Amino acid sequence: MNKKIFIAIGLVSCLLSSSAAFASGSNGEILRFKAGHPATNDIRTLKTGMVNLIEEGQEFKVILEENPSTGYSWSYKTSSDNVKLISDQAKKGKNMVGSPSQRVWTFKANQKGTYKLEFLYTQPWEIATAASKTVEYVIEVNSTSNIPTLTAGKVNKIEEGREFNVILDQNDSTGYQWDFKASSESIQKISDQVKKGKNMPGAPSQKVWTFKANQSGTYKLQFFYTPAWEKGTSALKTVEYTIEVNPVGNMPVLTAGKVNKIKEGQEFNVILDQNDSTGYEWDYKTSNESVQKISNYIKTGKNIVGSPSQKVWTFKANQKGTYKLHFFYAQLWEKNASALKSVEYTIEVG
C-alpha cells in the first residue's frame, strides 16, 4: 500500500515538473511561463531627475533600499489623489541580521496630469525629526493616444527619442501569448502590460508594449503568437511592423518672433528646454482647435541628476488660417501659479 502511495506521489511530481516551463528569454526569445499562468506585466520603474511619462491607467513602480534594523523606513506623499497605491511589499536581501532589503511600491495613474511623488526616509516615532534622505519623482500622465501606435503593412515614421506603442489582441485562456523580436537594439522596450477586457472567463484582452526609438534608421519589429509552454512551436499568427526613425529636425520646428508658414495637414514641432529637477515644466494653450496636438515626449540630456532636457511637442495644422500657440513655464501642481517665462508662436496655415 505504501509503495502505491509513493509511486502515485512520484507520478504526480513528474507530471507537474513536465508541465512547467519557466521564463528563460528576453528580446528575440519566447518567454516561457508555468502552464496555466499568464505572463506578468513588465511594469515601468520610475527614475529621478526626469519626467516619467506614464499612460493613463498604467501601473508603475518605485523601488528603494531600506534597512529595517536601523529603525528607518520609507513613507511617501503624493501631490494628487489621482495617483493610487496598488501594493507595497518588501523584498528581503541576504538572510542575515542587519542586511538591507528593497521596498517596492506599485501605483496606478488614473487621470491625465503632472504629479509628484515624494519619499521620506525617517524613524517613524520621531515626529519632528527631518528625513535622513528624500527622493522625488515627477510623472506626466498622458492618454494612450498621445503615444503613437504602430500600424502593420505601412512604414511608421517615428522621431528619434520618441516612444511608441504596439497593441495586439490576445486571449490568455487559450494559452497563446505574443512575443517579439526587434531587428536592432536601437529599438528599446520600455514596458508591457495587459489591458483586460470584460471581467468574464475566456474574454479577450489587449497586450500593450511601449518602445523607444533611440537612433535614426529603418527597423523591423516582428510579433508572433504561440503557446507559451511549447518550445519550437510554429506561431499561430505573426505581425510585422516597419519603423523609420528620423532625427527631430526632419519635421518643421516653430520659431518664436516670426510667422511660421505651415501647409494644411502638415505636422510640426515645438521644442523647448526644461529642467525637471526644478519642478518647472512647460504647458500650452492654442487660439484654435484646428491646431491639434499629436504627441509630446521628453528628450533627456546627459544622464546626470539635475541636467536639463528638452520637451518636444508634435502638432498638426488641420485648417487654413492664422493661429497662435502660447507656452508657459510654471510649477503646474501649484494652482494659479504665475509662469516663470512664456513663449508665443504664430503659425500661418496655407
The enclosing domain of 186 has a CATH number of: 2.60.40.2020
Same domain, 152 and 216: yes
- Residue 14 placed within a domain: no
**Sequence-separated (6 or more) residues with CB below 8 Å from residue 230:** none
The number of folded domains in the chain is 3
Write down the pLDDT at residue 5: 42
Question: Quick check: is 9 in a domain?
Answer: no
Residue 91's pLDDT is: 82
Same domain as 291, residue 210: no
Do the domain assignments include residue 47?
no
Residues 216, 262, single domain; the answer is no
For the whole model, what pTM was predicted?
0.48
* C-alpha cell, 294: 499629436
Domain end call among 181, 215, 248 = 248
Segments of the chain scoring below 50 in pLDDT: 1-40
Let me know whether 180 and 164 are in one domain. Answer: yes
Confirm whether 263 is domain-assigned: yes
At residue 260, the pLDDT reads: 95
Task: Examine residue 38 and state whether it is found in any structural domain, yes or no.
Answer: no
257 in any annotated domain: yes
Please indicate, yes or no, whether residues 160 and 80 belong to a single structural domain of this protein: no
Q: Is residue 5 part of a domain?
A: no
What is the distance between the alpha carbons of residues 40 and 194, in angstroms, rounded to a whole number?
A: 8
pLDDT score recorded for residue 36: 30
The amino acid that residue 3 corresponds to is: K
Look up the domain containing 81 and give its range: 57-142
Q: Give the domain-ending residue among 142, 167, 191.
A: 142
Same domain, 111 and 170: no
Domain co-membership, 173 together with 240 = yes
Which of 117, 142, 167 corresponds to the end of one domain?
Answer: 142
Residue with cell 527619442: 161
Q: In terms of domains, do 132 and 173 share one?
A: no
Residues 266 and 285 in one domain: yes
Given this model, what pLDDT does residue 238 score? Answer: 95
Q: Which residue from 177, 289, 167 is spatially nearest to 228, judged by alpha carbons?
A: 177
Check whether residue 104 and residue 132 sit in a common domain. yes
Cα(137)–Cα(116) distance, integer angstroms: 6
Cell matching residue 5: 502511495
Q: What does 4-61 look like in DSSP terms, one character per residue?
A: HHHHHHHHHHHHHHHH-------TTSPPP--TT-PPPPBPEEP-SSSEEEEETT-EEE
**Dihedral of alpha carbons 198, 199, 202, 206, sign:** positive
Establish if 156 belongs to a structural domain: yes
Mark whether 258 and 291 lie in a shared domain: yes
User: Are 219 and 151 in the same domain?
Assistant: yes
